[in-house]
Amino acid sequence: MSGRVLALGHQARAGAVLLLVLVAWQLGAGWADTTVLPSPTAVIGRVRADGLTAYLDPLGTTLVEAGLGFLFGTAAAVALGVLAIRFRFLLPPVTQVATLTYTVPTFAVGAVLVTVMPTTAVRVTISALYVVFTTVVGVVSGMQNADRASLDVVTAAGGGSWRQLWSVRLPAGLPSFFAALQIGAPSALLGAVVAEYIGGSGGIGVAMLGAQRNSDVQRTWGLALAVTAASLLAYGLVGLVGRLSTTWATSAPGAVHLPSAAVPTLRRRLLTGAGQGLLVAVLAIGGWWLLLRLLDVNAFVARTPAQVWSYLTGAEAGAARGQLLQLLGTTLGHMLLGLVAGVLLGVLVASAFTLVPVVQRVLLPIALLVQSVPIVAFLPLALLVFGRGAGVATLIAGLVAFFPTMVNVCAALRSTPAHAIDLLTSVGAGSVRCLVTARLPYAAPAIFASIRIAAPAAFSGALLVEWLALGNGLGGVMSTAAATYGYDELWSAVALGSVASIAVAAIAKACQRSVARRMSLAVPAL
């Protein structure tokens, strides 16, 4: 009975938050420019005038692409995770493959793939890439945390590794698996929308860009709300299936945790880092070469790793290399400004939630609601509000960084050891001093973990804005090169952007692990 009452309380709170958002929107639209922010009643009226078909048809196309990407990405991730657990020597390459799918800017990859693959196949591929990393982490971490006593029982009964995997590890990994799927479902939709922005016909992303170019602000908002509702529905349905499928678990599906590793010596860390870097390079170059061979791409379009290297380092490459490096600096500037602003805002909001719990109860549902929304779905709206300047690139990168930082830091602040807080309060310290002296230092690993998660996504967001609106940075030169058949420049820009994104993620990972070691905390293995 108490569980039903609690569920009703959560539903009532969610309904109150939704009503508050609608009221605030309606009031804000009263004084804002209607060519930028129409009222919800105006948007609903436009949807009724257009007919639901005008919104459901493009949304249906996107959902099919996202659904296929979600299935393929999940299947690939589960296969990789099972192989990594069953054959431990495969764990390093599997984790590097999964990390590579996340750190490589998928928008840049899509810009190249669209030249060698059908549009629908590119959209499904990009959607699948958005699912792989979190699902691999969920599968591996869940199965690694299987109960040791249960594994010993299977061994004592004569069962081998496969029996342990089927009888103990797979059931034990289901809560983390469904938690990863709950993240993956909206991510697959996000990937499909991002791929639609690259080009082609059909889909909610194409429809939103068309409405924005025609200055049809009410239809733009209606389409954005449609994809938002689909994302929230996918998030909720996967969560419901997870809860129903894991009723036996001691806790409901929650956060996806990175597996921990033992603390190695400095020499071992340096050798491991060099080995992982070499492995990433081999996997990336090998996958690039294999893709071209399998697809048998026309030489006019395709560029091999050797050709790109020659274009960037050859005797006549000085001007091209200098231009690309300058454009890379522009993109990194957009990303870093947004990343710093988003992380700082996330830390400040999480701190406010900790100091004033009532603020968290009111605002956290709104933040979580927005977190499950594909941020790039609002890119046309951001262009309407902020114009085609660097601010919109910073905004998208900042939004991507804000949400994981806020959620992770909020949890970390509340997980500060009780003895540290008790020691400070015993000498008369208030809540603010406890926050600054104890809670924030203990949350440092969570902050760097958030940066590690957000940096590649922020880089892709900056590329996307540059491609669609700004015309500068690497994204701008990719758009120009794709339109003018400048394939040397296109492939080189994609390769350079991918290296930069992987490097940013590697730096964030090194900082995260260093902070964890200094604070004698568990060091993430992935």
Amino acid symbol at 258 = L
Question: pLDDT tier at 526 (50, 70, 90 boundaries)?
Answer: low
Lowest mean pLDDT among 42-56, 81-95, 106-120, 258-272: 258-272
Q: What single string gives the DSSP state of each residue in 425-478?
A: HHTT--HHHHIIIIIHHHTHHHHHHHHHHHHHHHHHHHHHHIIIII--HHHHHH
* Tally of CB atoms within 10 A around 428: 7
Taking the C-alpha atoms of residue 467 and residue 107, their distance in angstroms, rounded to an integer, is 10
Angstrom distance (rounded) from CA 232 to CA 498: 30
Q: At 264, is the pLDDT very low, low, confident or very high (cuts 50, 70, 90)?
A: low
- pLDDT confidence bin for 255, thresholds 50/70/90: very low
pLDDT over 90 percentage in the chain: 3
Residue with the bigger pLDDT between 468 and 500: it is 500
What's the whole-number mean pLDDT along residues 224-246? 81
pLDDT band for position 1 (cuts 50, 70, 90): very low
CB 405 within 8 A of CB 350: yes
Q: How far apart are CA 497 and CA 293, in angstroms?
A: 23
pLDDT digits (tens, 9 = 90+) for 121-165: 888 988 898 888 878 877 877 777 666 777 777 787 777 777 877
Residue 74 is predicted with a pLDDT of 92
Model pLDDT for residues 311-327, shown as the tens digit of each residue: 878 766 667 777 888 88
pTM of structure? 0.71
What integer is the mean pLDDT of 18-41? 69
Tens of pLDDT, residue by residue over 66-105, are 999 999 999 998 888 888 888 877 777 777 777 777 767 7
Q: Position 206: which residue type?
A: V
**Angle at the Cα of 370 (from 224 to 37), degrees rounded to 5?**
45
Question: Nearest CA to 376 among 246, 496, 203, 260?
Answer: 203
Q: Is the pLDDT of residue 272 over 70?
A: no
- Least confident window among 100-104, 194-198, 458-462: 100-104
Q: Which of 42-46, 176-180, 197-201, 516-520 has the lowest mean pLDDT?
A: 516-520
Provide the token pair at 72.
């393929």
Coil, strand or helix: which one is 261? Answer: strand
Query: In which band, very low, low, confident or very high, does the pLDDT at 254 lie, cut at 50, 70 and 90?
Result: very low
Task: Report CA torsion sign: 286, 287, 288, 289.
Answer: positive
Mean pLDDT on 339-348: 88
pLDDT of 452 higher than 70? yes
pLDDT at 519: 62
| Averaged pLDDT, 40-45 | 83
**Would you say 134 and 256 are in contact if contact means Cβ atoms under 8 Å apart?**
yes
> pLDDT tier at 222 (50, 70, 90 boundaries)?
confident
b/e map of 432-467 (b: 16 or more CB within 10 Å)? eebbeebbbebbbbbbbbbbbbbbbbbbbbbbbbbb
Query: What token pair was written down for 277?
Result: 């870097």
The answer, yes or no, to whether residue 444 has pLDDT greater than 50, is yes
Q: Is the pLDDT of residue 26 over 60?
A: yes
What is residue 68's predicted lDDT score, i.e. its pLDDT? Answer: 94
Q: Which has more confidence, 334 or 468?
A: 334
CA distances from 130 to 223, 409, 482, 516 (A): 22, 23, 23, 27
Average pLDDT of span 513-517: 70
Nearest-Å Rg of the Cα atoms of the chain is 24
Q: Is the pLDDT of residue 252 over 50?
A: no
Report pLDDT digits (tens) over 358-386: 777 767 666 666 665 556 666 666 776 77
Average pLDDT over residues 224-230: 83
Would you tell me how many other CB atoms lie within 10 Å of the CB of residue 50? 14
Mean pLDDT is highest, among 131-145, 338-352, 421-435, 476-490, for 338-352
Task: Report the mean per-residue pLDDT for the chain.
Answer: 76
